[in-house]
Amino acid sequence: MRLYNTLTHAEDTFAPAVDNTVRMYTCGLTVYARGHIGNFRTFVCVDVLRRTLKHLLGYRMLHVMNFTDVDDRTIAGAQKAGMDLRAYTDQYIATFLEDARALGLEEVEEMPRATDEVNLRAMADLVGALDKSGHTYRSDGSVYFKISSLPDYGRLARLDHEGMKPGARVDSDNYAKEDARDFVLWKAAKDGEPAWDIVDPPGRPGWHLECSAMALRLLGGPPIDIHAGGIDLIFPHHENEIAQSEAATGKPFSRFWVHVEYLLVDDRKMSKSLGNTYTIPDVVARGYRPSAVRYLLLSAHYRKQLNFTWASLTQAEESLTRLTDFLARVDAVTRQGSHPEIAERVDEGRKAFAEAMQDDLNTAAALGAIFELVRALNSAIDAGEIGAGDVPAVRDAFDRFDRVLGVLSLRRAEDEQPPVPVEEVERLIEERHAVRRRRDFATADQIRNDLAARGVLLEDSAAGTRWKRK
């Protein structure tokens, strides 16, 4: 597989370094608010990367995605809400997990919290190692990383060394993208803020320290195979992770760095002031389904900006409906026999899909290969050139596609929980059949229309009536 590596600014051939196991770390959500669809673009794209490595290439996965539950924003949010920090962040971890399930994200192997005691101990050990190697200093009760002590600081973000400000300190977890200064590893204790005495002086970890410690602890030491996150994390967060990890261990931190581009909304950056930071419940309230959101978020190459509009979400819904309708046509094939040319065309589609996904996770090309196959097979069905013996190979191919993309299985799971109970839908279908046999078409139409108003569509064919969510 070829994968773009931010560190080398090139597509490099990827394979895990040890034991056929990919050791991957994803910077997860800072849990001071519910995650929005911009956050989930990163998480969906990383999920597709995980699924490609696991299901297409057959690698084992050891994947860590953290929760940042102590930083400037979580502390400020808890104080404003008058809540204990743990209780405050618990609620946003719960909503993240709810949204992750709604979007079909595979469960990763580890989901640590920064404030777990074992992780805080790992952070203290990392500070201790940096102390011993001469990369730190203390000032006003805080511990800082001295960027002048690391000559290659800034290589991930391609920083200009002349513009760096060694000796000038920055305490905030978030700061100007071009403002390279000594950064805080351990923050001095303040009244009303959580603090731990495992580092001298007592205090709390800085944001950058947390991810390094959790990645190194849970992934077995450096170098890990892949570190992933949003493009906004390249600097300062990932640059500082590299600095503190490599200064402490003397080894490269991560072999590959993978970054997902921004999600725009109506061609503008998401902003609370603009009112365009939509969450999954916001989207569902507008009548859309999470499976359509997932489809849209993975439909463009992860290294290209994606513009979210309600029209684009409608188009995603239409594309997904086209796929499910096609598979329903395949399942309805009753003509006997099989055709070598169908098997050959399916193999071509599978090969094109695999090549696209191994070409730096080119999901747009992979979807193109799927729809080329759909067009060819729909034409074969129309011409009576596909038989029941061809159906298993077609179904198997689409199951393999979906193990990577995860949209069809998500749509099926949604369909199993329609807005109207399944038993009621099936009873009304039978009732509609009965009134149609009596030629009471007005009542039959009323049943159909009532279900449609409640979010369930009925489709009649020679094989009978099937229902689907609207």
Q: Do 164 and 43 share a structural domain?
A: yes
- Give the chain's domain count: 3
Q: In this structure, are 245 and 283 located in the same domain?
A: no
Last residue of a domain, one of 415, 443, 458: 415
In 3D space, the residue among 64, 68, 109 whose CA is nearest the CA of residue 215 turns out to be 64
> Both 314 and 369 in a single domain?
yes
* CA–CA gap between residue 463 and residue 373 (Å, rounded): 24
Which pLDDT belongs to residue 292? 98
Examine residue 201 and say whether the peptide bond preceding it is cis (omega within 30 degrees of 0). Answer: yes
The predicted pLDDT at position 339 comes to 95
Q: Are residues 127 and 242 in the same domain?
A: yes
Residue 176 has a pLDDT of: 60
- Whether residue 342 contacts residue 380, with contact meaning beta carbons closer than 8 Å, is answered with yes
Q: CA nearest 14: which of 403, 349, 357, 404?
A: 357
Boundary residue ending a domain (221, 238, 260): 260
Specify the pLDDT at position 466: 87
CA distance 189 to 23: 34
223 upstream amide cis, omega within 30 of 0: yes
Cα dihedral value 6, 7, 9, 10, nearest 10:
-90
Tokens 């449609």, residue located: 452
CATH number of the structural domain spanning residue 40 = 3.40.50.620
Residues 146 and 291 in one domain: no
* Same domain for 346 and 390: yes
Phi-psi region for residue 266, left (φ > 0), alpha (ψ -120 to 50) or beta?
left
Based on the domain organization, do 159 and 212 belong to the same domain?
yes
pLDDT at residue number 175: 66
- One digit per residue, the tens of pLDDT, for the chain of length 470 reads 999 999 999 999 999 999 999 999 999 999 999 999 999 999 999 999 999 999 999 999 999 999 999 999 999 999 999 999 999 999 999 999 999 999 999 999 999 999 999 999 999 999 999 999 999 999 999 999 999 999 999 999 998 877 787 778 888 876 665 668 899 999 999 998 999 999 999 999 999 999 999 999 999 989 999 999 999 999 999 999 999 999 999 999 999 999 999 999 999 988 777 788 999 999 999 989 999 999 999 999 999 999 999 999 999 999 999 999 999 999 999 999 999 999 999 999 999 999 999 999 999 999 999 999 999 999 999 999 999 999 999 999 999 999 999 999 999 999 888 778 888 888 999 999 999 999 999 999 999 998 988 888 899 987 789 888 77
Do 246 and 308 reside in the same domain of the chain? no
Instruction: Please name which of 229, 228, 255, 227 lies closest in space to residue 16, comparing C-alpha atoms.
Output: 255
* Region of residue 463 (phi > 0: left; psi between -120 and 50: alpha; otherwise: beta): alpha
3-state secondary structure the chain: CEEEECCCCEEEECCCCECCEEEEEECCCECCCCCCHHHHHHHHHHHHHHHHHHHHCCCEEEEEECEECCCHHHHHHHHHHCCCHHHHHHHHHHHHHHHHHHCCCCCCCECCECCCHHHHHHHHHHHHHHHHCCCEEEECCEEEECHHHCCCCCCCCCCCHHHCEEEEEECCCCCCCCCCEEEEEEEECCCCCCCECCCCCCEEECHHHHHHHHHHHHCCCCCEEEEEEEHHHHHHHHHHHHHHHHHHHCCCCEEEEEEECCEEECCEECCHHHCCCCCHHHHHHCCCCHHHHHHHHHHCCCCCCEEECHHHHHHHHHHHHHHHHHHHHHHCCCCCCCCHHHHHHHHHHHHHHHHHHHECCCHHHHHHHHHHHHHHHHHHHHCCCCCHHHHHHHHHHHHHHHHHHCCHHHHHHHHCCCCCCHHHHHHHHHHHHHHHHCCCHHHHHHHHHHHHHCCEEEEEECCEEEEEEC
The answer on 70 and 211 residing in a single domain is yes
- The answer on 227 and 325 residing in a single domain is no
> Of 400, 415, 430, which closes a domain?
415
On whether both 427 and 379 belong to a single domain, the answer is no
The pLDDT value given to residue 389: 97
In this structure, are 360 and 427 located in the same domain? no
Domain limits for position 313 = 268-415
Strand pairing category for 142-145 and 181-188: antiparallel
Q: How many alpha carbons fall within 13 Å on the CB side of residue 14?
A: 32
